[in-house]
Amino acid sequence: MDLGLENKVVIITGGYSGIGEAIVRGIAQEKGIPVIVGRWGERAALIENDLKQQNCDFLAVITELSQPEQCKNAIAQAVAKYGKINALVNNAGMNDGIGLENGSPEKFMDSLHYNLFHYYTMAHFALPFLKQQKGNSIINISSKTGVTGQGGTSAYVASKAGQLGLTREWAVELLPYQLRVNAVVPAEVMTPLYEQWLNTFDKPEEKLVEITKRIPLGKRMTTPEEIADTVLFLISERASHITGQHIFVDGGYTHLDRAV
């Protein structure tokens, strides 16, 4: 299926690792133009070199997403180089374990800055350019924790639930411009951050087996590429009448009876 993403400029936050990296690579494979926005990580040079070797057009903007002016600058750089923005994928964030008992109001607010506020900030500054063409879109990468809760991670869950709420709100607000807004909701995806969390357990391998046994479809983790494929579809014209949706890509983990 031709998704029609050739020469489409797609901004991806947190594009140097995990789900974000998979989205960047997927956009490049579809001959789109990924704009990678986020912190410089250990995989950054590898990803950029791979894209160069594939003769892919891309832009990398090292950005501290908690700083609004840096977000504005990232948008400005993309527009300066390409003259347009076709899609924004809000993805960056991490589960920092700031809970009700083990946190504080200050840590809670800091976590919201790192996990939620930049979703709004990036969308706010990208909006004037997204409005220039009907069919452009915003994708918010959320988490099943925003629906189910998890325990011990109030700030992250509040951020993820907030992202789902903003998805519906923006979908309504942007109807006059025919801009589509959707959320992709993963559950258990093997990323570097997830692997780091697993390694906090005494027996990571046993913990992983315990988790995958509860994933109904295939008893396996979702791959970053499966999340990316859903994102690519949603920003394409093949999804031209889909907006305001929370798309769960989780092997049935969130909604099906895990006893199966």
Total structural domains in the chain?
2
Decide if 82 is catalytic.
Answer: no
pLDDT in tens, 49-63: 999 999 999 999 999
Residues 46 and 162 in one domain: yes
Residues 82 and 181 in one domain: yes
Predicted TM-score (pTM) of the model is: 0.95
Task: Note whether residue 256 is domain-resident.
Answer: no
Residues 203 and 233 in one domain: no
Residues 206 and 138 in one domain: no
Residues 194 and 97 in one domain: no
Task: Note whether residue 93 is domain-resident.
Answer: yes
Range of the domain at 211: 190-221
- Write down the mean pLDDT value for the chain: 95
Residues 94 and 202 in one domain: no
Residues 201 and 113 in one domain: no
Residues 132 and 211 in one domain: no
Cα 237 from Cα 222, distance rounded (Å): 25
pLDDT tier at 191, thresholds 50, 70, 90? confident
The single residue of 16, 114, 119, 156 carrying the catalytic annotation is: 156
